Amino acid sequence: MSEQLNEYSDDSSAGKATMEKITSLAKRRGFVFQSSEIYGGQNGAWDYGPLGIELKNRIAGAWWKEMTRLHDNIVGLDAAILMHPRTWEASGHVENFTDPLVDCKKCKSRFRADQIPQENLAAKKCPDCGGELTDTRKFNLMFKTHIGPAEDTASIIYLRPETAQGIYVNYKNIIQSNRMKIPFGIAQIGKAFRNEIVTKNFIFRTCEFEQMEMQYFVKPGTDEEWFAEWRKQRWAYYEKLGVKMDHLRWHQHGPGELAHYAKDAYDIEYLFPLGWRELEGVHNRTDYDLGRHTQYSGKDLQYIDQDNNNERYIPYIIETSAGLTRNLLMILCDAYDEEQVAEKGNDDDWRTVLRFHPDLAPITVAVLPLMKKDGLAELAQDIRTELKEDYSTDYDQAGAIGRRYRRQDEAGTPFCVTVDYQSKEDGTVTLRFRDSMEQIRVPRAELAGRLRQEIRTYKRMK
């Protein structure tokens, strides 16, 4: 019986993804580490290790391609995190970006009032220790700090709580520099910061995170049509990434849930091991943001439609807003699988496998010499060097070949290339597929092309 079987099969979570398993695998394999771990960790902040940063970059790359390269009328932007403080008065965040907060006077635990049982709130009774709760007060989620040497009210500056505002304040610059015509979009990926009250659940809700947002500027009156269109496109995007579609659903915001800027909003929710949770939001923000920035900046932010008798209007905005770090958690959960693999004389053997789409996998191909000796390691290194130009690669010569395959399965590497004695004789190598564990022989000269074809035609089996 393998050591992994003990880990899984003696509890009811055998074969299933749980947050504990995902968190433990993420640390063990270098996807995600707790921030400042040697000092006991920093709540709400996480560090992305060697496999994590590769995965995050690929998720960001897939989104960027989808939202900019595949659209002639969407361009990119990278705006500063620090923005003029008036931005956040105009956007409504200073006034409205709050959560209701209660503290326990006895055990000092802090809760979001909307996330504890109503009976506890009504009785002012702590759900953890039964102690007395404080009155509910509003807590602004923006991180506030000072810029410059003087710490006075004139030097207050905020860390942006959403990337969207950097797009709105640049909308005129982009129209002018890039001759954009409505409808058009601006896409951005970047850090956002929120002083979240509850940050348990790994990287699901953190104080420092990354967003992938696209703001689409449309003529008023066409907004509902574009709102429906973007919902359709964002749904199709996850399908293209190979995400389990029965783990996705829509949730339309009710009147009490709508953000202060939104006329209508739908979330794409994913069935995390925690239950159904928001993954991405699609919002009809109307002319709220550009209207408010007009008012607060005194600048004319109307669009002038030169193809339509210079008609002037403030565009409506349809926003698609996805968390990059939350997408990474979703991709990890979605890819996670434990499989009982019958092998000769050992049909109890289990493997953990991350079934990443090859476009997202941190390592695309691992090259493994069957033995270190007899020139096999040198040949394998040579093959790796050749593949490096086109693919992200790994090389592993330590331990039995079966164990090396398992290590790559756990990192989500879709292809392994094994170099053996026959490779020296006839120039062929073994290509092993992560999902099916099937192995075929391929001439070395055809390897790069074969991998390209496999990636292009990849279909998830399970």
Q: Which positions lie near ligand GAP, rule CB under 6 A?
A: 162, 164, 194, 196, 205-206, 209, 211, 213, 278-281, 319, 321-323, 325-326
CB nearer to ligand GAP: give 164 or 429: 164
Q: How far apart are CB 266 and ligand GAP at their closest, in Å?
A: 11
Q: Which residue is nearest to ligand GAP (CB)?
A: 323
Both tokens of 415, joined, read 């292809």
- Nearer to ligand GAP (CB atom), residue 215 or residue 418: 215
Q: What separation in angstroms does the CA of 318 have from each of 79, 164, 184, 265?
A: 19, 11, 10, 10
| Nearest approach, Cβ of residue 293 and ligand GAP (Å) | 15
- Beta carbon of residue 159, minimum distance to ligand GAP (angstroms, whole number): 12
Q: From the CB of residue 372, how many other CB atoms can be counted at a distance below 10 Å?
A: 12
Give the C-alpha separation, 410 to 212, whole Å: 27
Cβ atoms of 332 and 26 closer than 8 Å: yes
Closest to ligand GAP by CB, 326 vs 434, is 326
Q: How far is the CB of 324 from ligand GAP (least distance, A)?
A: 8
In angstroms, give the least distance from the CB of 364 to ligand GAP. 26
Residue number, 213 or 409, with CB nearest to ligand GAP? 213
Minimum CB separation of residue 94 from ligand GAP in Å reads 16
Shorter beta-carbon distance to ligand GAP: residue 8 or 227 = 227
Of the pair 280, 359, the CB lying nearest ligand GAP is at 280
Q: How far is the CB of 4 from ligand GAP (least distance, A)?
A: 30
CB of 264 to ligand GAP, least distance (A): 13
Between residues 183 and 323, which has the closer beta carbon with respect to ligand GAP? 323
Rounded CA-CA distance 164/238 in Å is 22
**Do residues 209 and 324 lie in contact, with contact meaning Cβ atoms separated by under 8 Å?**
yes
Q: Which is nearer to ligand GAP, 64 or 433 (CB)?
A: 64
